[in-house]
Structure formats: structure tokens, C-alpha cells
Amino acid sequence: MSETGPPIPELAESVAYVRELGKPTVADVLRDARAAGRLALQPRCGVGSHAQMTTLLQDLERHARPDILTLTIDSYTRLKQFDTARRVLERNPADLNGYPLVTHGWERGRQLNEAVAAPLEIRHGTPDARLLFEVTVASGITSFEGGGISYNLPYCKDIPLAESLAAWRDVDARCGELARHGLVVDRETFGTLTAVLVPPSISLAISVLEAVAAAREGVRCISVAYPQGGHFEQDVAALRAIPELAARYLPAGLEVHAVLHEFMGVFPKQRPHAEDLILYGALVARLGGASKLISKTYQEAHGIPDTRANIDGLLLASRANSPLLDFITLDEDRIGTELEWILREVAEIVEPILSTADLHKAIPIAFEEGRLDIPFSASRSARSAIIPRRAGDGAIRYFATGALPFSARTRRHHEQSLAAGGESRLGDMVKGLTSDINYFLGIFGENTNGSTNNCTNSSTGGSAVGDIVAEHSTAETPVAPS
């Protein structure tokens, strides 16, 4: 017996189970969606109770027909606190902020798989996901989110990058082994990172490094997920950058899909405003050529959404697939300019690291030296010396680039874009960052004074910007999983 109950089956048995299940894999769904020119839709969802998780998945499928369904994993499981997860599950499953798959075990994982027609993905936030991945595979689940950088730095304070990279190397190697057995597991990067004003080139650079590392271990399908920043042309350009980056840095024959996370920051409180933002994000995904959209709900500002809100969010986002929207035209010159800068910045960040002999050694060194960095990180492994700001048009730029290896031309581009800001004092910076984070509240004219608005599914809420600027957050376990 293992911590998951009955012994985990051999890989060959799990591969045979997936074939016998008769449903498409996530890789199949993404491939078909891209070929059809439509956007695959996926909600977030995860509760502690097995019975309630089953009902939740079935209700979402019955009423909204998402292409892919999610098991969001609880925080205890993410930190390998399996005994605690079991105690909480036995006491009151509602106290868990996700589904404890390791505790429930792979047999129950298969029950969930068999309860719905759509394939499942595991979303979690785990620095060391090896046991969770083994249970995932035994459950017949064919997509697994995360990576050694993106599932460490936004979530954990003291876990060394070398440890999380080594653990995720094992996960990717296992995916390679599964591919040799004939089962392609989609591996999705978590480009959302801290979810607060993440510059596109930082998100994509981290995803490129994780994707290269995964491909070297034999992963055959990679979804590169990007967080909607809020500026239409910049977001469309970032999504369009993904296939170009794949062509530059990843081996031929690897399936690569662009994925958009709908806005992960402070959401409007009023339902009409929230729904405007949901549809806006879905249009960004479609026009950016994404294969998949991770949806949001009108309840984001108030807490974890209920089933009805999740269904309504999916149905609203699905309108982006309407053929009646083919009349929409874009400012292709502006998108092309943004794309050119994004590709330049990513190259300046990743190419010195990719040129080293050992990627897994080079990445921690680059973070230690500040040549890799992410904003507002909970981890001591990141300097968080880069400070993002919004330009006057809403695009996310670099106010401070820290030790990122940007050229003088790149730095000058961001300085010129932000020239109208002019804050020099800490108080001005805090006020400006708060305004940038509350961007959509300002657009909709919602009052931000004394707001209790939160970022339900993000890693860092962004409500205590003064604390972030003065001394970066050290929260070890985010309230809600990705």
C-alpha cells in the first residue's frame, strides 16, 4: 500500500486504461480546436469532497460543455502535507481549497474521469509534484500544469530552485516515458506567475525555459499559458509570439499551443462590468490565435465562484467562437510593433541561459544574479527587483529592469513609453502601482477606496502594494490555487 491507497499501477496499465476509456486526451482536444480555428474552453474548479467534485464536474459539463475540465488541487497537497489533507478531509472536506487527489487516490481519480466526457487537467501549484503526477497518470488524466520555476517562485518562500527544477525534471522525464508508450500528456506552463502586472516578456521567457527543459526530457505536447495583461494589442501580440518562440527554441515536431488565462488581477465587482471583461478576454484569446482559454466568472471579486457563475462564465466566453465576429479588424501595425519588442526582450533574457551547458544549473544562477527575475515574488530565490508599470495606454512596461540583460535600446523603449508617469517618491510609486493594479476598476469607474476586492485565483492579490514595494511578500501558501 502507498499513501494513495492501492499500489499505483505500472505505466503500461495506465496507458491501456486511457485507451480503453475511449475519450480524447487533452492533446487531442487542443489539436482539434486549433485545426478547426476555434477556442477550447476550460474552467477552474476544485472542492474537497469526492461526491461534490463529481457533481461539480458533471454540472459544468451538462450546462456549459467545456472542452476540458479541471481538478484544482488543495494547498496541503501542493506542499506535500498529505497527512494534514487527510485529517481535514475526514473532519470537513469543505475546509479544503481544492481536491486532494493524492489523499483520495487514483481509483477515485478514475471515477471522476469516467463521470464526464471531457478530458481532465490537473492545476495545482506544487514545487515537487512527483507523487501527484504518478496519481494523475494512474487516474487516466492527460494534462498537468506547472514547472520548476513557475510552481515555485509565486508560491513558496524557501524552497531552492535547484530542488524544484530537479523534481519537475523527473515529471517531464516520466512524460517522455509515457510518450514512448504511446500516451502524450499535455504539459502546460504557468506563465501567469504572480499574476500582478506581469510583463509579457517575463511570462514568455520563463515559459520558454520550462518548455525547453521539458522537451529535452521527451515531452511531446506543451501548452504555453499567458496571463491577460489588459492591453488588447499587447496581449494579442504576446499570444502570437508563442508559435514564433516555439519555432526558434523548441525542436521540430513538438506540439505547442498558446493558452490565455483571463485577467488574473483585481476584477470588477459589478456583474455587468465583470462580464464585459470576461468577453473581452475571450476575444483576445480568439484573435491572438490561442488554442485554449481558462475562463473567469462574475464572482471573482467576491470569493471562490459557485457552480452557476462558472457555467455562466463559460457560456459567455464561448461567444468568442461565434462566426459573426469575423468582421473584427485589428491594428496590425501596433500588434506587429508589440510583437517585435516582445520577441526581442525574450531573446535578450533567455538566449544567454540557453547557451549554457546545463540548463538546470544555469537557471538558479541567473535568478541569483538577477538576470532572471519576476515581480512581487514570494520566494527568496527571486530578487523581484523589476518593477512593472502601465503606460498611458494601459500596456505593461518595465519601470525598473533590475539586472535583466536588456540592451540599451530595450531599456530606452520602456523609459520612453513610461515618460509621462514621473513618480519619484515611494508614496508616488505606491499610489501609481495601486492604480495600475486596479486598472479595470478605473476603466469601469468602480470605487477602489476601502475595496475588499480580491484576486480569487491569482497567486498574489496585489492589494497591499505598499508592503510589496517596501518589502516583498513572504506568503508561503496562496489562499486559492491556480
In this prediction, residue 422 carries a pLDDT of 53
In this prediction, residue 6 carries a pLDDT of 86
In this prediction, residue 474 carries a pLDDT of 26
Task: Note the pLDDT tens digit of each residue in 311-357.
Answer: 999 999 999 999 999 999 999 999 999 999 999 999 999 999 999 99
Residue 380 is among the residues annotated as catalytic for this protein: no
CB 68 within 8 A of CB 292: yes
CB 165 within 8 A of CB 364: yes
Catalytic residue among 34, 121, 134, 145: 145
Mean pLDDT, contiguous 10-residue spans, the chain (482 residues) = 71 96 97 97 97 98 98 96 98 97 98 98 97 98 98 95 98 98 97 95 98 98 98 98 98 97 96 97 98 97 94 97 93 98 98 97 98 95 96 96 98 92 63 91 80 37 34 31 36
Q: Which residues pair with residue 217 across a beta bridge? A: none
Helix (H, G, I), strand (E, B) or coil at 261: strand
Catalytic residue among 78, 174, 220, 389: 78
In this prediction, residue 447 carries a pLDDT of 75
| All three cell numbers of 393 | 495606454
Residue 86 is among the residues annotated as catalytic for this protein: no
In this prediction, residue 430 carries a pLDDT of 83
In this prediction, residue 450 carries a pLDDT of 44
Q: Is the dihedral of CA 318, 191, 37, 46 positive or negative?
A: negative
| All three cell numbers of 163 | 530542488
In this prediction, residue 2 carries a pLDDT of 44
The helix (H) or strand (E) run that includes residue 121 is strand 120-123
DSSP state for residue 27 in the 8-state scheme:
H
Helices 200-216 and 332-354, axial angle in degrees (round to 10): 50
In this prediction, residue 426 carries a pLDDT of 58
CA distance 151 to 23: 29
In this prediction, residue 428 carries a pLDDT of 76
The helix (H) or strand (E) run that includes residue 226 is strand 221-227
In this prediction, residue 420 carries a pLDDT of 63
Residues contacting residue 427 through CB under 8 Å, at least 6 positions apart? none
In this prediction, residue 468 carries a pLDDT of 33
Residues contacting residue 252 through CB under 8 Å, at least 6 positions apart? none
Count of all residues that appear for the chain in the document: 482
